[in-house]
Amino acid sequence: MRDVAVVSFAQSATRRDQTRNEVEILLPVLREAMAPTGLTTHDIGFTCSGSSDYLAGQAFAFVSALDAVGPWPPIQESHVEMDGAWALYEAWVRLQHGDIDTALVYAFGKSSPGDVARVLSLQLDPYVTGPLWPDAISLAALQARAFLEAGHDEKDLARVVARSRRNAVGNPHAQLSGDIDEATLLDEPLYADPLRMHDCPPISDGAAVVVLAAGDKARELCERPAWIRGIDHRIDVQALGSRDLSQSASTRLAGEKAGVGGRADLAELHAPFSHQELIVAEALGLDETATSINPSGGALASNPVMVAGLVRIGEAARRLSAGEGERAVAHATSGPALQQNLVCVLEATS
Amino acid sequence: MTAEPITGIVTPIRLDYTYTPGTSPSQFLRGMKEGRILGRRCPSCAKVYVPPRGGCPMCGVEFAEEVRVADTGTLVTFAVVNVNFANRVIDLPYVSGEVRFDGSDTTSMVLVQGIPVDQVRMGMRVKAHWLPRDEWDFTFANIDYVEPLDEPDADYESYKEFV
């Protein structure tokens, strides 16, 4: 395998953005990510993006978004109708071909124009589950119920939320942050039993950009590159009733293939709902006492759909490059109730 | 005994959106409400986009100044339409054209009226025919159609990059 590293990362502030369109959100983030590398669009070997046109209800938004890149003369480019973490996976595979040394990965999403919990229902199978229109929050609540009944306590959920809000205080891109104790959280009313409002993610619009480089090119572009030591993604069966929702078999397998080995200084886990962070950490064999989990606050603090998974990889890489650790695990999820999961192991040494 | 095969099902889908056009397109739409065609200039290549979206797609940079373009222009290409769209109430045949408004570096699709179909030609100079002022809204549809100007046709060289 060819050594590939994250050499730059940038993200927008996340909030409901009722002023700018996707290109306007993306443009300054692209510029910020490219600036430290000194590269232009035409120095990049391959460009790949992740987004979903259903979010803002704008057909071919993913084509319009290319305006931000300035793809003229024509560039080598691809798109996944998924979180940008999967665009990064495609770019990593493309870099393995060996004929190019750099790749640009970007993701954008505006969830605020529609009802995102219903929009996400369109990910369900169209014959049996889809016509029932179960929204994403209700499905997460079903999973949370299964998780609690498998022997967990709602205090565990409150602990995850309190830590997320506390960690997000230091994250200028986060939407929700603050010092709230667990007892106060548990006094809040139920929203989608057993979930409370704070167990669910905020509605966020945003964009993120990662620059990847291989081998010596990565060392040239970045003082302390975050090397991708393993990356893998797996998917559970589509029928929700065929899964044990209290666990994540696909995360466990992806983690094994990516070589997590239960060791990491920090982990950025894409868990839009509080119980999902516990399911993912368990599947990856990560122990909160040894690993700093979601030091950015994670998706509970800001959740730009189609972007939040790529942000996990970017955040983990950024922290390693800044010397906050030597080994990190980043995780991204897609689909209802943690259906599909990607795991990426990153390392940086001086 | 064999069951009747199921060859299809109908799944009703409805999603409601409150769409945000963005900063530059909003400015364009506000201009239309006042009967003005507003574009934006790329600070890198100086091209003027109408309507502007987010940035220059050739250069990948954010737009700079706002530019008002004329409501006169050149018909750079056109099609004669002989089959109506559903709910369209224009007499057939009619002409759908691409017009480069003077001062713009992009073309806009508009209806061409006021001239027999068989006399429409590339390079023809045209002018916007606006709906009555009290019907103007935040939409390009305020320009009902374009009609011929009494001017000589534009030279092909002047619009060939838009064909």
Phi/psi class of residue A303: alpha, beta or left (left: φ > 0; alpha: ψ in -120 to 50)?
A: beta
B97 has which bridge partners?
Answer: B78, B110
Residue pair B92/B137 in contact (Cβ under 8 Å)? The answer is no
Contacting residues of A for B24, CB less than 8 Å apart: 24
Please indicate whether, in this complex, the C-beta atoms of B18 and A67 are within 8 angstroms of each other: no
Cα–Cα nearest to A238, from A148, A337, A333, A350: A337
Q: Which residue of A has its CA nearest to B62?
A: A27
Percent of chain A with pLDDT over 90: 91
CB A55 within 8 A of CB B18: no
A19/B23 touch (CB, cutoff 8 Å), yes or no: yes
Least-confidence region, from A158-167, A300-309, A338-347, B52-61: B52-61
CA distances from A195 to A161, A185, A308 (A): 11, 11, 21
pTM of the model as a whole:
0.94
* Residue in A with minimal Cα distance to B16: A114
In this prediction, residue A294 carries a pLDDT of: 98
Alpha helices in A259-340 (DSSP H): 274-283, 308-321
Angle at A85 between CA A83 and CA A86, to 5 degrees: 80
Looking at this predicted complex, what is its ipTM? 0.87
CB contact under 8 A, A23 and B25: no
- When pLDDT is averaged across residues A135-139 and rounded to a whole number, the result is 96
Residue B1: its pLDDT value, please? 64
Residue B87 clears pLDDT 90, i.e. is over it: no
List the beta strands (DSSP E) in A19-174.
46-50, 77-80, 102-110
Chain B within 8 Å of A259 (Cβ-Cβ)? Answer: no
Asked whether the predicted pLDDT for residue A58 surpasses 90, the reply is no
Under the banding of pLDDT at 50, 70 and 90, the label for residue B11 is confident
Domains assigned to chain A = 4-115+202-225 (3.40.47.10), 130-190+227-347 (3.40.47.10)
Choose among A52, A33, A32, A23: nearest CA to A304.
A52
E-strand spans in A236-326?
A: 266-268, 292-293
Q: Is B16–A70 a contact, with Cβ atoms under 8 angstroms apart?
A: no
Residue A286 has pLDDT above 70, yes or no: yes
Q: Are A218 and A37 in contact (CB under 8 A)?
A: no
- Give B91-113 pLDDT, tens digit per residue: 899 999 999 999 999 999 999 99
Residue A186 banded pLDDT, cuts 50, 70, 90: very high
CA angle A85, B54, A68 (to 5 degrees): 40
> How would you classify residue A288: left for phi > 0, otherwise alpha for psi between -120 and 50, otherwise beta?
alpha
Q: Which of residues 279-298 of A touch B (CB under 8 A)?
A: none
What sign does the CA torsion over A59, B128, B107, B105 have? negative
pLDDT digits (tens, 9 = 90+) for A147-178: 999 999 999 999 999 999 999 999 999 999 99
Contact B53 A126 (CB under 8 A): no
Q: Identify the three-state secondary structure at position A275.
A: helix
What is the pLDDT, as a whole number, of residue B2? 80
Return the number of CB contacts < 8 Å for A and B: 92
Q: How confident is the model at residue A31 (pLDDT cuts 50, 70, 90)?
A: very high
Residue found under tokens 């990516």: A258
Q: Average the pLDDT over B62-86 and give the result.
A: 93
Break chain B into its structural domains and give their ranges.
21-69, 71-163
pLDDT tens digits for range A287-303? 999 999 999 999 999 99
Over residues B129-150, mean pLDDT: 97
pLDDT grade, residue A94 (50/70/90)? very high
Q: Which of the residues A16, A18, A19, A21 would you substitute to probe the B interface, choosing the one with the greatest number of B C-beta atoms within 10 Å? A: A21
Per-residue pLDDT at A310: 98
Lowest mean pLDDT across A136-150, A203-217, B1-15, B36-50 = B1-15
pLDDT, residue A225, reads: 98
Confidence class for position A262, pLDDT limits 50, 70, 90:
confident
Query: pLDDT value at position A4?
Result: 98
Q: Per-residue pLDDT for A254 more than 70? A: yes
Q: Which residues pair with A78 in a beta bridge?
A: A48
Q: Is the pLDDT of residue B86 over 80?
A: no
Please tell me which residue of chain B has the smallest CA distance to A20: B22
Closest CA to A334 of A16, A81, A157, A148: A81
B4, pLDDT greater than 70: yes
The fraction of chain B above a pLDDT of 90, given in percent, is 83
Mean predicted lDDT score pLDDT of chain A: 96
Average pLDDT over residues A106-126: 93
Which residues of chain B have a CB within 8 Å of the CB of A126?
11
